């Protein structure tokens, strides 16, 4: 129970930082407390796709020789580029 309470407090601290607009601090807090998925979700919601993918490269698993990239992030980035009128960038992400 104590471990769960600590986890809830760590999560809440990150959420409060994010709501206060302290996004970099929130992401750092999540990373420091091994909540990589929360940091990736935060960065993706802020349209910081490259930073989210870098985080996965640095802290995520690896397949073979290359880094494991999250296809969900790539799709969200492609949709954002498409909606912004950046057709070429969007098409390149779908490849």
pLDDT, tens only, 21-78:
999 999 999 999 988 889 998 999 999 988 888 888 888 654 444 445 677 788 888 8
Instruction: Give residue for tokens 């909540």.
Output: 35
Query: DSSP letter at 86?
Result: -
What pLDDT, on a 0 to 100 scale, did the predictor assign at position 27?
92
pTM check: above 0.85:
no
Helices in 1-95 by DSSP H: which ranges? 2-19, 23-32, 36-45, 49-59, 71-83, 87-94
What pLDDT, on a 0 to 100 scale, did the predictor assign at position 66?
45
- 2-94 CATH pick, 1.10.8, 1.25.40, 2.60.40, 3.90.198: 1.25.40
Q: How confident is the model at residue 92 (pLDDT cuts 50, 70, 90)?
A: confident
Q: Which residues contact 59 (CB under 8 A, 6 or more apart)?
A: 31, 36
């Amino acid at each position: 129970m104590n471990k769960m309470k600590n986890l809830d407090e760590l999560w809440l601290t990150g959420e409060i930082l994010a709501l206060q607009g302290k996004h970099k601090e929130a992401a750092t807090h999540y990373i420091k407390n091994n909540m990589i998925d929360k940091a990736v979700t935060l960065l993706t919601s802020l349209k910081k796709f490259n930073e989210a993918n870098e985080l996965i490269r640095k802290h995520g698993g690896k397949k073979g020789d290359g880094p494991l990239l999250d296809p969900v992030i790539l799709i969200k980035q492609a949709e954002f580029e498409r909606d912004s009128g950046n057709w070429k960038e969007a098409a390149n992400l779908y490849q």
